[in-house]
């Protein structure tokens, strides 16, 4: 038996427009596009699983200050190799950091390395 779904059963999904002056090839706009990417990841199941995997691989800690990443502290997604420099959105190029740590990375030009996942040995 087939079921006919009603249009009213489909949830409305609002999309946020990209700022007109935003340029994905300008390094100054990298934090803006990273925040958009992080928001996009939170909104779908595949992105949520990727966030969870990043969080667990980092032992639930920020790569910069090594403090716990929680819902209360918040987090941002940071690209190790910037997209304007040829980086991609693969998990090996992403880390989770606190919002304040993320601002420091971009304002001070700090380099971030991905921590090795801990093994259960």
pLDDT in tens, 95-119: 999 999 999 998 998 998 887 766 5
Q: Does pTM surpass 0.85?
A: no
Residue 43 lies in a domain: yes
Residue 66 lies in a domain: yes
pLDDT in tens, 46-61: 888 888 999 999 999 9
Question: Residues of 61-84 as b/e, b for ≥16 C-beta within 10 angstroms?
Answer: bbbbeeeebeeeeebbbbbeeebb
Residue 18 lies in a domain: no
Residue 88 lies in a domain: yes
Where residue 59 falls (left for φ over 0; alpha for ψ -120 to 50; beta otherwise) is left
Question: In total, how many domains does the chain have?
Answer: 1
Residue 76 lies in a domain: yes
Residue 10 lies in a domain: no
CATH at residue 32: 3.40.1800
**Separation CA 97–CA 100 (nearest Å):** 8
Tell me which residue range forms the domain holding 65. 27-108
């Amino acid at each position: 038996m087939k079921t006919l779904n009603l249009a009213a059963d489909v949830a409305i999904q609002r999309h946020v427009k990209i700022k007109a002056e935003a340029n994905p090839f300008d390094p100054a706009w990298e934090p803006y596009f990273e925040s958009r990417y992080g928001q996009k990841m939170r909104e779908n199941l595949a992105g949520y699983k990727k966030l969870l995997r990043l969080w667990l691989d980092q032992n639930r800690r920020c790569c910069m200050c090594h403090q716990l990443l929680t819902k209360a502290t918040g987090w941002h997604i940071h690209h190790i190799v910037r997209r304007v420099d040829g980086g991609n959105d693969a998990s090996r190029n992403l880390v989770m950091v606190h919002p304040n740590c993320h601002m420091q990375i971009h304002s001070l030009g700090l380099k971030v390395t991905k921590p090795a996942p801990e093994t259960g040995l």
